[in-house]
Structure 1
């Protein structure tokens, strides 16, 4: 048993562990520009936390793109991976928390709406792959967030009961998915203007200021408090 009893921790990746949104935005902007669509950062904020395939299906319908979603996904992944491999920033307090949890023997997993290729590239490029070895991508489950599938699959991979899992999430669909899975949720909104979304206000710990407010110490203290009988 770890220093936090039976608690297991599940991390979302994009916007939670790493600041990948700028890379996703640039890849998306380039892809949509090829189809005659002007795409802004404000447009991009609408899709934070939504699975890639769901986002592409929405774009295909909204912008009248006559290309299959699978083809769009391949092209978006190609563009994104080139950017991600070149430069992906890990939030410093998140890295500190992962290192502390690893040192304490706390079971951890990553559960992300990104493709497995993107997740593996980011974890390897940032060195987090040596600390976070249990991974579930949206490719491996029937439904993406806000459905609970990816978090339930991560719990099963860890051999943990959902009620003993704490999810760290930056987006409302992910917070919804965590609660649907029967898990506690630490919410760190990537878009802080969204902090009043019902999924965030229902979180067990809400850090309204997002990553600017998040600290490894605050997260550890919360995990220690819920690990007590």
Structure 2
């Protein structure tokens, strides 16, 4: 392996449920209707994509305003610090001792930066990329392809660490070796998991990589 790229939400930050709560509340307040498939459909979407999706649920605001207001609510939830998953920063440090590491996330850049500053990882993580900076969010491979491009490495020689169906599909589509840490609240598709190395816990990653 030449590098390791981590997802953020659900892998290093326990935020998938917070995103879900904030979006659900926002849709309800603005006269929209949440659907059964809305939660999973939005996992991995870039900011412009999920903002348009919420507009399609009946929120009568421009997507740009939807994005701004939802991100403000998320930032408020992060004010006392992002909900870092225990042991996550230590795993990143262990991996970074042997490989260049990056983050490729669907979170907006402001929340990625909040995590890096809160955990003191800003100097270890060589690339921290939001999918709002690429053409398509996950499950498209764009964010992983751009992260590896910025690292200067071939994606086929890189590992990705993901937790949800769309994230796993994204990394697989980029041609990466994929380690899955299945999200317990939103379990990924078993057929997709079969194409990955499944970890019981993120803390297993350094050992599996021989660190």
For Structure 1 versus Structure 2, the TM-score category normalised by the shorter chain is 0.7 to 0.9
Counterpart CA distance in 2 for 1:153 and 1:25 is 27
Residue equivalent to 2:178: 185
Specify the SS of the correspondent of 2:91: helix
After superposition, the CA RMSD in angstroms is 2.5
Instruction: Give the conservation status (yes or no) of the 8 Å contact 2:163–2:183.
Output: yes
Residue equivalent to 2:24: 29
Specify the SS of the correspondent of 1:129: coil
Specify the SS of the correspondent of 1:202: coil
Deviation at 1:40, TM superposition (A): 9.6
1:127-150 Cα shifts (integer Å, max 9, x gaps) = 332332411111211111111110
CA 1:187–1:92 in 2, change beyond 3 Å: closer, same or farther?
Answer: same
Residue equivalent to 1:50: 45
* Structure 1: unaligned runs, 5 residues or longer: 1-5, 208-212
Counterpart CA distance in 1 for 2:117 and 2:142 is 24
Q: Which residues in structure 2 correspond to 1:83-162 (within 5 Å)?
A: 83-102=77-96, 104-162=97-155
Specify the SS of the correspondent of 2:5: strand
Specify the SS of the correspondent of 1:189: coil
Specify the SS of the correspondent of 2:87: helix
Specify the SS of the correspondent of 2:122: helix
CA 1:85–1:41 in 2, change beyond 3 Å: closer, same or farther?
Answer: farther
Counterpart CA distance in 2 for 1:85 and 1:12 is 21
* Structure 2: unaligned runs, 5 residues or longer: none
Specify the SS of the correspondent of 2:210: helix
CA 1:160–1:139 in 2, change beyond 3 Å: closer, same or farther?
Answer: same
Counterpart CA distance in 2 for 1:65 and 1:193 is 24
Deviation at 1:94, TM superposition (A): 2.1
**Count of paired positions:** 211
Instruction: Give the conservation status (yes or no) of the 8 Å contact 1:23–1:84.
Output: no
TM-score of the superposed pair, with normalisation by structure 1: 0.81
